[in-house]
Structure formats: C-alpha cells, structure tokens
Amino acid sequence: MKKNMNSTLLLLFFFSFAAVIPNLQANIGHFDPYVRKQAEDAAEYNRNHAYVQNPIETVNHVNDHVHKVFAGRNSTKIERKLGKYHGPCLATNPIDRCWRCRADWANDRKRLADCVLGFGRHTRGGKRGKFYVVTDPSDNDLVNPKPGTLRYGVIQTQPLWIIFARSMVIRLSEELMIASDKTIDGRGANVHITGGAGLTMQFVRNVIIHGLHIHDIHPGSGGLIRDSLDHYGFRTASDGDGISIFGSSHIWIDHNSMSNCKDGIVDAIMGSTAITISNNHMTDHNEVMLFGASDGYSNDTIMQVTIAFNHFGRGLVQRMPRCRFGFFHVLNNDYTHWLMYAIGGSRNPTIISQGNRFIAPPDTNAKEVTHRVFATEDVWKQWTWRSQNDLMMNGAFFVESGDITPSLPYSKQDMISSKPGTFVTRLTRFAGAINCFVGKPC
C-alpha cells in the first residue's frame, strides 16, 4: 500500500515536472540579452500598466454592455435553433453589436478594434497601422520569411492589420512568433492554421486574433526562429498549443474555431494579463485553457482574463479554464459538453462565474462544474469562486467558496448581476469563425 502510494506520488511528481518545466523555460533555447531585455520590459509593463487595480469595475463594465443589448427586451424566448442559421444577419452580444451586420465591413475592418470588452479592452492590435495582405500560405524560411507570408507580416516592427487575399491552409513549420501591435483578421477568407505548430505571443502586447480556424496543432521541433526584424533566436521544441500567450498583455482572441491541439487550445502564462477570450467555438480537445503553468510562480497574481460568449462544445474534456493565482471572469459562455469538469484551479485564483449555461455530461461522477487541486478543503474554502445567475442543467453543480467580493486590495464596489444563463444560447449563437463575404452583412 505504502509502496504503491509512493510510486503514484513519484509518478505525479515526474509528470507535473515534465509538464511545467518546458512552459517556464519559454522554449527559449538561448536567453540572449535581447530576449532578457524584452522579458524585463514586458514584466514591468504588464504589472504597472496592463494590470488593473479594481477588477470588479471591469466585470461590471462588461455586464453593463450585455444589459444594454437587451434593454427593453426581457424575453428569453429566442433560442438557438438546431442546424445552421440562414436568416438575416444578427448580432446578439455587445461585442458583435459593435461591428457586425454591416455590408461595408470589408471597407471598415478596423472598426473591430474598438469593440473589445473585458480585461483585454484596451487592445487595438494593428489599428494604427497599414494593411498587410497574406498572399502566400507557405512557411519555409523561419529566419528570413518571404514577403507575402503570414510569418513575414507578424514579425514587422510597425503596427499592421493583417488580412488574407483568399482562403488558404497554412501549415506552420514552427511556432509563429507574433510581434506587438498586430491584428490577424481572417474575415472574408477561410483561413486554416493546421497540421503544424501554433501561434505564440512572447513578451509582446496589443494583439488581436480574429476569425481563424486553428486545429490539429502539433509540437514544433524548435530551431532558429525570427521573432522581430531585429532578432532571431534558438527555440526548443514547442508544446503544441493552438495559441500560447507568454509574459504578454492586451490580447484579444475573438471568433475563432479551435480544436484538437496537442497541448492547450489557449494557454496564458508567466504573468500575462489584460486578456479577453470571446466568441470562440472550441471542440474535440482535452486540456482546453491553462492560465498559469506553475503553483510556484506567484507573479501570475497579476493575471486578469475575461472569458465571455464562447461555446465550449463537443468532445471537450477539462480546463475551461484551469486557473492559478489571478482573476478570471467567466461570463455568459455555453458549456454544452465536458467529460471531467469545466472550471478548475489551484493556488487561490479568483473565479467569478456569471450567467453561463452548464450542461453536465451523463457520467454521474462528472456533474461538478468545479475542480480544485493541491489543496485541502480548509484551504480552498478561502478561495473566491462564485457562481451567479449560472444555468445548471442535467445535474450540473458549482461548488462555491470564499467571499462574493474578493478581499482587499479590491475595492468594495458592488458587483452588478449578469444576464442569466438562459440568455446564453442567444449570446453565443454565432461563436466561432464567421463566414463573411465582401459586400454582404457579416
């Protein structure tokens, strides 16, 4: 018995070690002076400029905007109908309301940059920059990428709004290292990032990822990769995340369809903050979102993430998200499938779950939405994990803990209540990449 337990513990130890160490090393093979400076600048910016002192104000700001969409209309009767939607263009949540359903969207693409809500709400991506058009789906030169490729666009110094000349499939040979002040805007084309490595933001800020299909992402083997005009460096093997956010801030990930990546679909670690993940449709994946990679990395306390209007769909297993240390606002998402649990964490994260719909799986052992690890009950009882206006179906239940208003340093401002989970089918109806055509409402 004792021997058994020891070997289990040992296994667990090796397992978590193996999972944690590569993340913390950033796949940076050589921490040269350029990368070191970048890391220091990003840490200073994230802590002193991107992190907000009063997260409740941000929580209320999003909820205010959701309420405005429904002002004067209290009916919950409009439900998601089965099958594909063929009616006139509908914008059903406050982010979409801000830009969608205009026939001139292709002439006014940058309007999107003013639509983000939540902790990522100051993200403007490449709004101040020129357009860059991806014409070439190849990815053959990682140090001197060819003009016309996606990789050439994302490493530029100046802000850029990156669009696609036509539908294409891009197989990334290694991680795509995205520099600051970029928008990748897949609208008007059917863009699949698949069969290779994923997207990485490391020590950067101000990036929008919109309207892409990201799926079947594999670990890259590493090598020399350019991350800016001024620098390339040696990177070790990547984990196979769809989107990896590392020491970065002001990131907005909106309206993407994502599935089946080797590691996480979206992972944000190493003191990343000011992130909004909205309107995405995720399917067929095990560990969906990881926020904070290590129980020992308390600098993740500054992590602030909004997860809103997403559809967590078929074939998902766990981590929607799995959190450490920071503040996580999980608002008006539709959880229609999970196999193990929906929301988990360790190390005292604050989780405000509002107005989601949680539909538990048939498995009687997997009805609990929440999952706490590496803490005894007397410890996790102190963590602020609150559920408000969530719609629980098929036996789903959320085990709450802590105070509704997190203790100081947060202000005593009251949290306003969210739109209830009964509205979620409407709010998330158009989650995922939208099929937009030039000249038609999108």
- Active-site positions read 319
Question: What is the rounded distance in angstroms from the CA atom of residue 243 to the CA atom of residue 154?
Answer: 14
Nearer to ligand NAG, 63 or 306 (CB): 63
Nearer to ligand NAG, 67 or 110 (CB): 67
Q: Which helix (H) or strand (E) holds 427?
A: helix 424-427
Report if residue 75 touches ligand NAG, rule: CB under 6 A. Answer: no
The DSSP annotation for 26-84 comes to TTBS---HHHHHHHHHHHHHIIIIIS-S-HHHHHHHHHHHHHHHTTT-------PPSS-
Whether 232 contacts 187, CB under 8 Å: no
Nearer to ligand NAG, 36 or 440 (CB): 36
Q: How many residues bind ligand NAG (CB under 6 A)?
A: 5
Report if residue 135 touches ligand NAG, rule: CB under 6 A. Answer: no
Neighbouring-strand partners of residue 223? 235
Whether 245 contacts 220, CB under 8 Å: no
Whether 405 contacts 56, CB under 8 Å: yes
φ, ψ dihedrals at 345, nearest 5°: 175, 175
Report if residue 74 touches ligand NAG, rule: CB under 6 A. Answer: yes
Q: Which of 309, 400, 354, 348 is nearest to 60 (CA)?
A: 354
Question: What is the rounded distance in angstroms from the CA atom of residue 225 to the CA atom of residue 211?
Answer: 25
Neighbouring-strand partners of residue 322? 290, 344
CB of 354 to ligand NAG, least distance (A): 16
Q: Which of 19, 138, 145 is nearest to 154 (CA)?
A: 145
Residue owning tokens 């160490």: 21
Applying CB under 6 A, among 72, 83, 88, 147 the residue interacting with ligand NAG is: 72
CB of 392 to ligand NAG, least distance (A): 21
Sign for the pseudo-dihedral over CA of 170, 173, 175, 179: negative
Report if residue 422 touches ligand NAG, rule: CB under 6 A. Answer: no
- The three-state secondary structure class of 405 is coil
**Buried b or exposed e, range 245-268, using 16+ CB within 10 angstroms:** bbbbbbbbbbbbbbbbbbbbbbbb
Residues in region 272-311 near ligand NAG by CB under 6 A: 299
Question: What is the rounded distance in angstroms from the CA atom of residue 88 to the CA atom of residue 103?
Answer: 12
CB of 364 to ligand NAG, least distance (A): 36
Q: Which of 339, 378, 381, 335 is nearest to 358 (CA)?
A: 335
Whether 251 contacts 289, CB under 8 Å: no
Nearer to ligand NAG, 46 or 425 (CB): 46
Nearer to ligand NAG, 276 or 294 (CB): 294
Nearer to ligand NAG, 127 or 250 (CB): 250
Nearer to ligand NAG, 43 or 101 (CB): 43
CB of 203 to ligand NAG, least distance (A): 12
Applying CB under 6 A, among 20, 22, 47, 90 the residue interacting with ligand NAG is: 47
Applying CB under 6 A, among 19, 20, 28, 43 the residue interacting with ligand NAG is: 43
CB of 66 to ligand NAG, least distance (A): 14
Nearer to ligand NAG, 47 or 231 (CB): 47
Long-range (24+ apart) CB contacts under 8 A made by 84-91 are: 85/429, 85/430, 88/441, 89/441, 89/442, 90/429, 90/430, 91/430
Sites of contact with ligand NAG (CB under 6 A)? 43, 47, 72, 74, 299
